[in-house]
């Protein structure tokens, strides 16, 4: 069941990333959309918590949750800037490799037992993530020092985020409390960013942000369920496979052609998932 939850998370994240990709082509601000999706998700989760009386906040829960939200928003911002400054052919695969850090943390710190067959499956899925997102001959003006700085910040943000999520489940924090703190912290961080940028907000950004926020609640809810009941070292690479759905959405929505190496990556990913089940 936890593998199914991880796949649902991957699907939700893939749909959201596809929406971000579509919105960029329409000239919409990714920061504005992120702000509205965090704000809507915060209002929904906080309202549900108050209505059911299920909130049980602790200082550590608030701190870890808020830090997860800030790291996620900062990671997305750094990723966008890395795409602007450097080669997309290297940016996406490098940043996607951040899953290695929470995987190693789960094995070394939380002492998860992983069989050799499952390790091979994890390796296959990580290879698939890199292969699927590889885009050779990407055009653009590159500023390599600034690019590598943004790449490093993105890897650090997403990698630390995964470790903190695993830590919160290890400490038996209530997922709803962490989500409320995560969306609240992310909203405050993005609001400060918007104040400094002072860009005009479009009505369509609010609508898109609302849809993304609702999908995010489902995705992260399944994410925490999977982490609390399953093997984190397998869950993280499965979630990283959200790039699969972005590729399929690109084929359907943007008439992009699936490359041979991407088809190979999809096949490798399927083998990886099967091996982690053995």
Q: How far is CA 175 from CA 64, 69, 108, 165, 224, in A?
A: 12, 13, 23, 9, 6
Predicted confidence band of residue 182 (pLDDT cuts 50, 70, 90): very high
Cβ neighbours of 112 (radius 10 Å): 17
| Interval 128-161: pLDDT, tens | 766 766 666 555 555 678 888 888 898 899 889 8
Contacts of 15 (CB under 8 A, 6+ apart): 215, 245, 249
DSSP label at 136? T
Please report, to the nearest 10 degrees, the dihedral formed by the alpha carbons of residues 111, 117, 118, 119 taken in order: 70
d(CA 88, CA 139): 8
d(CA 129, CA 127): 5
Q: Which has more pLDDT, 27 or 221?
A: 221
Burial of 170 (0-12, 13-18, 19+ CB in 10 A): middle
pLDDT at 21: 72
d(CA 165, CA 245): 23
d(CA 114, CA 111): 9
Contacts of 199 (CB under 8 A, 6+ apart): 29, 31, 32
Q: Tell me the two tokens of residue 79.
A: 């990723």
Predicted confidence band of residue 47 (pLDDT cuts 50, 70, 90): very high
Q: Tell me the two tokens of residue 101.
A: 């850090």
- pTM of the predicted model as reported, rounded to 2 decimal places: 0.79
For Cα atoms 218, 184, 50, give the angle at the middle one, nearest 5 degrees: 70
| Interval 81-120: pLDDT, tens | 777 776 655 666 677 777 778 877 877 777 777 778 877 8
Cβ neighbours of 116 (radius 10 Å): 8
d(CA 31, CA 44): 20
Predicted confidence band of residue 240 (pLDDT cuts 50, 70, 90): confident
User: What is the distance between the terminal CA atoms of the chain, rounded to a whole angstrom?
Assistant: 15
For Cα atoms 20, 10, 210, give the angle at the middle one, nearest 5 degrees: 40
DSSP label at 86? S
């Amino acid at each position: 069941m936890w593998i199914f939850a991880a796949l649902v998370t991957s699907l939700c994240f893939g749909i959201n990333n596809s929406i971000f990709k579509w919105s960029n082509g329409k000239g919409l601000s990714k920061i504005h959309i992120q702000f509205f999706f965090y704000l809507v998700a915060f209002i929904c989760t906080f309202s549900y918590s108050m209505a059911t009386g299920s909130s049980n906040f602790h200082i550590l829960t608030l701190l870890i949750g808020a830090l997860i939200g800030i790291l996620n928003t900062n990671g997305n911002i750094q990723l966008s800037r890395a795409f602007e400054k450097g080669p997309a052919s290297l940016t996406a695969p490098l940043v996607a490799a951040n899953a290695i850090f929470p995987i190693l943390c789960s094995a070394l710190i939380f002492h998860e037992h992983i069989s050799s067959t499952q390790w091979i499956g994890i390796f296959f899925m990580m290879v698939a993530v890199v292969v699927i997102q590889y885009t050779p001959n990407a055009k653009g003006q590159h500023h390599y020092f600034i690019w590598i700085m943004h790449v490093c910040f993105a890897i650090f943000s997403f990698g630390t985020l995964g470790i903190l999520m695993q830590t919160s489940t290890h400490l038996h924090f209530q997922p709803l409390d962490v989500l409320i703190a995560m969306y609240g912290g992310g909203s405050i961080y993005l609001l400060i960013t918007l104040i400094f940028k002072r860009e005009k907000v479009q009505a369509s950004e609010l609508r898109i942000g609302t849809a993304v926020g609702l999908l995010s609640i489902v995705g992260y809810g399944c994410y925490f369920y999977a982490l609390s009941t399953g093997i984190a070292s397998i869950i993280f690479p499965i979630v990283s496979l959200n790039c699969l759905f972005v590729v399929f959405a690109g084929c359907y929505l943007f008439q992009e052609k699936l490359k041979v190496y991407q088809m190979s990556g999809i096949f490798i990913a399927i083998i990886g998932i099967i091996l982690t089940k053995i």
